Amino acid sequence: MGNAAKRRWVVTGAGGQLGLSLAASLRDDPANALAAAFDHRALDIADDAAVRRALTGLPGGRPDVVANAAAMTHVDRCEAEPAAAETANATGPGLLAALCQELGALLVHVSTDYVFDGTGTRPYTEVDPTAPRSVYGRTKLDGERRVLAAQPDALVVRAAWVFGPGRNFVRTILEAAARAQRGEAPALRVVDDQRGSPTYSGDLADGIVGLVDADANGIFHLANAGVASWWDLARAAVDIWGHPELPIEKVRTEEFPRPAPRPAWSVLDTSKASRLGVRMRAWREGLRGYLDSDASPLRELGASS
């Protein structure tokens, strides 16, 4: 900790779902303070000189914690632009970790369920073998390794199926459902043979802060509890919106071919975090929390939950 009573944080990738949620969580936290939040336009984490200037030039001194939520997360774009994915997801985090080590700041790096091959049948633990099948997954795994090589005491948090402020699956589904309800679009068709851990970015942010407060380091999984398919998540969102009568067809992954393979199984075991007192609520509760929040798409649809 620095001289101040509160732990000082910097958030990179602050324009994304998790970055926005982390900034909001830290602003309301009595034990932590948000020293700065940089989106990609303000700070490219792969620009070593720019990151050094940013972290050493903060009013009030250097940070205690740097939370890296910056990444190239569009998995199909990663397949088409592997060099850009490597820079954003591996090179940048490695440089950031080295600088944090030099400055005496803890790096919290956010990773993904895509580091696994998606063929599991039980929730993945932190020690299960990794075997990514996509450029996105491979570059994110490379990022984990570079971070921990540069700062062995860094905290790496793997998350899955994140939704929150901005564009996300839940928002897209509700907008499509609204068009279908008005007769402007066909009924929804959603994949039902991929299963994971839908996670509200607000809960993920609170969990990350909780892990730091618990002095955690190494690799941890954080996700809302329970198992769902994309169809389950879509159905729950439309039902909370108040339209259980709207049909949603179940389809298989092969009916929506994509450049990058999607894991069939992305459920994360979070018991390691639970043992430190960081417990994630059920995904349906997280979904309702999102749909009740200021960032809820229901506000734009003119509906209430």
The C-alpha atoms of residue 65 and residue 144 are separated, in whole angstroms, by 17
Nearest to 113 by CA among 77, 69, 148, 157: 157
Of the candidates 82, 201, 101, 196, which has an alpha carbon nearest to the alpha carbon of residue 142? 82
Structural domain contains residue 105? yes
Q: Which of 114, 136, 200, 290 is catalytic?
A: 136
Q: What is the chain's pLDDT, residue by residue, as a tens digit (305 residues)? A: 444 479 999 999 999 999 999 999 999 899 999 999 999 999 999 999 999 999 999 998 999 999 999 999 999 999 999 999 999 999 999 999 999 999 999 999 999 999 999 999 999 999 999 999 999 999 999 999 999 999 999 999 999 999 999 999 999 999 999 999 999 999 999 999 999 999 999 999 999 999 999 999 999 999 999 999 999 999 999 999 999 999 999 999 999 889 999 999 999 999 999 999 999 999 999 999 999 999 999 998 865 44
Tokens of 220: 């941890």
Q: Is 156 among the domain residues?
A: yes
C-alpha of 159 from chain center: 5
H/E stretch holding 171 reads helix 169-181
* Catalytic status, residue 290: no
Instruction: Return the number of other C-beta atoms located less than 10 Å from residue 102's C-beta.
Output: 13
- Evaluate whether residue 249 is within a structural domain: no
Number of domains in the chain: 1
H or E, element range at 211? helix 201-213
Q: What is the DSSP letter of 130?
A: P
What CATH number should be reported for the domain holding residue 277? Answer: 3.40.50.720
d(CA 288, CA 235): 13
Residue 179 forms part of a structural domain:
no
Q: Is residue 92 part of a domain?
A: yes
Range of the domain at 57: 7-163+199-225+267-282
The answer as to whether 176 is a domain residue is no
* Gap between the Cα atoms of 172 and 189, Å rounded: 12
Residue 221: CA count within 13 A, CB half-sphere: 25
Residue 301 belongs to a domain: no
- Strand 218-221 and strand 162-163: pairing? unpaired
Comparing C-alpha atoms, which of 166, 239, 228 is closest to residue 199?
228
Specify if 181 maps to a domain. no
